[in-house]
Copies of this chain bind each other. A is one copy, B any other.
Amino acid sequence: MVRPGHWGVRARVERFSEPALLLLLLERPTHGYELLEALPHVTGEARVDMGNLYRVLRGLEEDGLVTSRWEAGEPGPAKRTYELTVEGRRLLDEWAAALRGSRERIDTFLHRYERR
C-alpha cells in the first residue's frame, strides 16, 4: 500500500536482481558496471540501483558466494571482476527452485482469475 491513492501495480519478484546477477555470473565472470547493463535484459526491465547492486556484490563476496579480482592491463577505469563460487552456484539453484514455485503460484492465480 500504504498512502492512499497509490495502488501501483508492478508484480515484481522480491530481490529478483540477486538470482539474475548470479545467472549472469554463471554464464561468465563479469564486472559490476557490465552487470548493471545486462541485468535489465534478464529481469525484463526492472531498474537496478547501482548503489544497491555494488552493495549486494560485496555482501555476496563477504559470504563466499562470489570472488572478485581487480582487472589490470585494460584501458579505462579499473574493473572489479566477479566470479561465481560453488556455494554461489548452490544459491542460484535454490533461487531457480523457488522461482519455479512462484511461477506455479502465479499460474494458479491466473487460472482462478480467468474462470471469472
Contacts and interface: CB of A to CB of B under 8 A. Distances in A.
A11 B102 CA distance: 6
Interface in A92-109: 92, 94-96, 98-109
A66 to B, nearest CB: 11
A106 B99 contact: yes
Interface string A57-98: 001101101000000000000000000000000011011101
Given A19-B109, A23-B109, A110-B103, A98 B9 contact: yes
Residues of A in contact with B, size category: 35 or more
Given A63-B4, A63-B5, A103 B106 contact: yes
Contacts of A100: 110
Nearest to A19: B109
A106 B11 contact: no
